[in-house]
């Protein structure tokens, strides 16, 4: 059987590309420290809070929210503003992918650049039991206090 590559190579050289590849978007990490989400003894109030750092941007923000809820695990809809008004977060329980999700965004460059990421924290809710005062028991989310959240950078022209 005779086979010639010449017609095939000529066709390939004249064909236009099927897709145009764009440069890969920049990515980075938000460092989360001092994370907590727990109730308060003798109360139905719960607090969620943490410090967010992005070393590549010299960014440090403190984020927190409180909610009266039972069980005492605080949730807050995205976008909840942090102390730096360019940083937003949400902490929500999602049934479809069971567990708590932390969503983060840093908006800058005249609202044309957004670094955004999400992190699944599971649903390991524990009860702190106070042996001396049973009414002082409260729920808390059993997760690490420090972790990194990868983000993608999106830029609008």
The answer to whether the pTM exceeds 0.75 is yes
Measured CA to CA, the distance from residue 63 to residue 88 in angstroms comes to 8
pLDDT given at position 25: 57
Q: How many residues does the chain have?
A: 157
pLDDT given at position 123: 93
pLDDT given at position 56: 92
Query: Can you give 41-88 as a three-state secondary structure string?
Result: CCCCEEEEEEEEEEHHHCEEEEEEEEEECCCCCCCEEEEEECCCCCEE
**pLDDT lower than 70: segments of the chain:** 1-26
All domains in the chain, ordered by first residue: 23-155 (2.40.350)
């Amino acid at each position: 059987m005779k086979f010639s590559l010449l017609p095939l190579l000529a066709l390939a050289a004249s064909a236009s590309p099927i897709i145009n590849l764009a440069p890969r978007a920049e990515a980075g990490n938000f460092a989360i420290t001092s994370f907590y989400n727990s109730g308060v003894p003798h109360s139905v109030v719960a607090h969620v809070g943490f410090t967010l750092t992005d070393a590549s941007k010299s960014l440090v923000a403190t984020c927190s929210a409180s909610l009266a809820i039972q069980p005492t695990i605080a949730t807050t809809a995205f976008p909840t503003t942090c102390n730096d008004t360019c940083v937003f977060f949400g902490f929500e329980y999602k049934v479809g992918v069971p567990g708590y999700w932390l969503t983060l965004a840093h908006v800058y460059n005249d609202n044309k650049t957004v670094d955004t990421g999400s992190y699944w924290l599971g649903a390991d809710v524990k009860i702190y039991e106070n042996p001396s005062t049973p009414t002082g028991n409260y729920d808390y989310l059993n997760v690490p206090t420090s972790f990194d959240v990868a983000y993608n950078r999106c830029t609008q022209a």
